[in-house]
Amino acid sequence: MPDRFPYLPVVWGRGDASLMPLVPLELRFKGSASVQAHGLLDSGATVNVLPYALDVRLGAVWEAQTTRVTLTGILAPQDARALLVHAHVSDFASVPLVLAWTRGDNVPVLLGQVNFFEEFDVCFHRARRQFEFEPARKAFEIEKSPIGTAELRDIAWKTAHHFNRPSGTRFPLPPIPTVETVGYCLTSLRDWDGANAALSVRKEARA
């Protein structure tokens, strides 16, 4: 189940305040003590960004980080280095976050596409002043092949091509292809809309 958080007020440099989606984080760098922080969810940001002082508190040494990161937009003038930390969010398992550690402190902790939004599915409800997120669901889930399973289904190019035909086009329902390999893709094992069952019925009718 996703966790839900309220938008929190943020006061900017000119004294203006606004409600923003801030996530409470527990950050850890290698074997150092953890540091509590709030990260601003920014789906328009390409990368995660961390201000200088916060990573110093984590025990990171600027000179030891040799991979440079080029920032864009208003952060373009900032020198930045790549840093890998582990983040604990809510009750979810800890995840590795790749951050652009900036030399300046005039930026908040930004959580961007790489790689916070790759680790979590996020849904914003601005009108209700809340947001929710949960660990990302991968496109394909892999599990070990069932013991003793050796039957394979044939799949030809035309079979795959049939799936792309417009709705309403008449064609034999093909079986969902599965492959006997290191693991099965769970989506391949599903009988979409009874396709496999319908195919069996047609075969029996022809016989």
Does residue 153 share a domain with residue 130?
no
End position of a domain, from candidates 117, 135, 153: 135
End position of a domain, from candidates 107, 135, 163: 135
Does residue 29 share a domain with residue 126?
yes
Q: Which residues contact 201 (CB under 8 A, 6 or more apart)?
A: none
End position of a domain, from candidates 85, 101, 135: 135
Q: Considering only CA atoms, which of 71, 98, 73, 70 is closest in space to residue 83?
A: 98
CATH number of the domain residue 21 falls in: 2.40.70.10
- 25-58 pLDDT, tens per residue? 999 998 888 999 999 999 999 999 999 999 899 9
Domains held by the chain: number = 2
| Mean residue pLDDT across the chain | 76
Domain of 199 in residue numbering reads as 142-206
Range among 2-6, 103-107, 145-149, 187-191 rated most confident: 2-6
Confidence of residue 182 (pLDDT cuts 50, 70, 90): very low
Strand partners, 27: 35, 87
Total-model pTM: 0.65
Percent of the chain with pLDDT over 90: 48
- For residue 196, cis peptide bond before it (omega within 30 degrees of 0): no
Query: Are 186 and 140 a contacting pair, CB within 8 Å?
Result: yes
Percent of the chain with pLDDT over 70: 65
Does residue 113 share a domain with residue 156?
no
Q: Considering only CA atoms, which of 38, 47, 39 is closest in space to residue 102?
A: 47
Does residue 115 share a domain with residue 25?
yes
